[in-house]
Chains A and B, each alone.
Chain A
Amino acid sequence: MMSKITPRNDNVMMGLFAVAVLTMPIWLMPIGASYPDLMQKFAIFGIFAIGFNILFGLTGYLSFGHAAFLGVGSYTAVWSFKLLSMNVLPAVVFAVLVAGAFSFLIGFISLRRSGIYFSILTLAFAQMSYNLAYSVLTPITNGETGLQLAKSDPRVVDALFVEAGAGIPSTNFFGIAMSGYGGFYFCAILLIVGFYLSLRITRSPFGMMLKAIKSNQNRMSYTGLNTRPYALTAFVISGMYAGLAGSLLAVTDPLAGAERMQWTASGEVVLMTILGGVGTLIGPVLGAGIIKYFENIFSAFNESILTSIFSFLPDGLQDVVVSVVGLFVGEGWHLTLGLLFMIIVIYLPGGLVEGAQRIRTYATKKREKKSAASHQPQIAE
């Protein structure tokens, strides 16, 4: 059963979400995921997926090229570190703005089509960006090596305030280092802000228009609404979220490479959103967390670990088991992901959020049955 949508319930949900995010270091401890490197990935890809869901979940437009905006965000942030300052604030702001401008261009063209043609257009643009980053744009992207910081970078704003030290300075938020927990909490706070904004959008008249796009564009036009700019606005907003996520990847690890724009990265955010629950508020964050968590676990396995796990088996059998299981871990983790995805799409198209709702209705029904049964004798008396 769904609780009613009121500002009050939303504030409660928002509070719970904030607490859950900020206490990740505590409750993720038992599953061995409470270290900053991994937790900030949860937050960053959570932001990416929330933004993606504003486009896909609300308007129904399925973009297969959102990694391009992630990449643009990373490059912009690294350039901000190189040219202006190691302070992350300008890096994040510029990344969001540049990704916004870039997504305006791509969205403007791609939204001339809908359905599969829209998806293909976004995919084509993203692959184009990826290839450009490797070739002609090398002066900006540093090609295959990727864009990195150098001691000789100008950092004009920093240069005004501090003497250059011996090494490359590290990223910071007004002095707070963005490595370790500092970086995690910075990402976590932006995740909370990003979640809140998406909540407001979902509840707003604008959000209702986006749902109308998904539902019936014809009716929308005959109702006096211009659908294209609404869809484009959603596209730009989700591109900005992607840019923010990309900049945070650079904040916590200041380099940017073209592989960030590859189609696999675009596909991953689709999986995250669908796994968690398309069009739900919390689903995309859940999906992002789960995929990043399992990626971390599964890709860590290698043959020698597997061999020792299955050492209790007789030799011949052990080899077979290890080589079969080996297909699904390490580099082969994407195979597991693919299987997981198939299972979700076939059995639980509403994602994990729908799964949770089903369990809840099942449980309440059972409880009601039970209490009805225990009340019966009294009625009979």
Chain B
Amino acid sequence: MGILQVQDVNKSFGGLKALHNVNLDVEEGAVHAIIGPNGAGKSTLLNCFVGRLKPDTGSVMFDGTSLLGIAPHEINQAGVARVFQTPEIFGDLSLIENVMIPTLAKRDGAYTVNAWGRVDQAAEIRDKAEHILEDVGLAEKREMHANSLSRGDKRRLELAMCLVQEPKLLLLDEPTAGMSRADTNNTIDLLKRIGERGITKIVIEHDMHVVFSLASKISVLAQGTVIAEGAPEDIKGDPRVQEAYLGGAHL
């Protein structure tokens, strides 16, 4: 039994069926890639996991409890963190603050009024934040405003904000989009390293180099339906996948 179990999830927007009877079983510790053409419903599926959207029907179970009908902050506190397709960061705060906030959220819970302590004296939180910024290669920029970062750096910052929480399940929506080749490779290395920490990951990715270097399992989504699923080698050779998504190219 996987850590995340998705059963018969359906989601429509008006007349558009964005998800159609989607089933997914993500094993603990796995790197589960979801690939598929634009508009296939990949981001929509993740939205159903983090409380941004509620599926019309179906169930999403994480670690034995349902993720449906509970608030986004409760889902995060349960151990699910997400990197969005368009980076969601604290744009007008410094990088170090961006990372300290999730650290505090992890330590102190969803709501704590500590109005007397000093952020600049919170050594334990600060150290943790600095450390993770080093991990993603943003340490020198720690005092910069997050808004002034490049798109690739914003993604890495958001990744740091998720990693610092040591989530059980990490959702990554196109984590290398907008990154240079070198940055993409760094990110692959980073994701491999955190793989060793035993964080389960779901990765949506267009870059097949990234997918095949990381994934232990791949699900292919097209027009809201899972059309193929299996180990990377099987997916590579699957004619349905070739036709629906890859068009025979780049493999």
Contact = CB atoms under 8 A, between A and B. Distances in A.
Nearest to B89: A219
B251 interface: no
B71 interface: yes
Given A215-B90, A215-B93, A216-B89, A226 B116 contact: no
Nearest to B72: A221
A233 B113 contact: yes
B77 interface: yes
Interface in A190-222: 200-201, 203-209, 211-212, 214-216, 218-222
A218 B50 CA distance: 11
Given A211-B93, A222-B72, A225-B111, A200 B101 contact: no
B97 interface: yes
B56 to A, nearest CB: 22
A206 B115 contact: yes
Contacts of B115: 200-201, 204, 206-207
A110 B182 CA distance: 48
B110 interface: yes
Contacts of A201: 115
B14 interface: no
B51 to A, nearest CB: 8
Interface in B74-133: 76-77, 81-82, 84, 88-93, 97, 100-102, 104-106, 108-122
B104 A222 contact: no
A32 B183 CA distance: 63
A15 interface: no
B89 A230 contact: no
Given A212-B93, A216-B91, A225 B113 contact: no
B59 interface: no
A81 to B, nearest CB: 31
A224 interface: yes
B148 to A, nearest CB: 14
A226 B91 contact: no
B203 interface: no
Given A208-B104, A211-B93, A215-B92, A224 B119 contact: no
Contacts of B91: 215-216
A222 B93 CA distance: 17
Interface in B223-244: none
Which of A204, A207, A224 has most B Cβ within 10 Å? A224
B73 interface: yes
A225 B84 CA distance: 17
Interface string B178-207: 000000000000000000000000000000
B165 interface: yes
A371 interface: no
Interface in A105-129: none
A212 B88 contact: no
B68 interface: no
Given A7-B118, A215-B92, A222 B110 contact: no
Interface of B: 50-51, 71-73, 76-77, 81-82, 84, 88-93, 97, 100-102, 104-106, 108-122, 161, 165
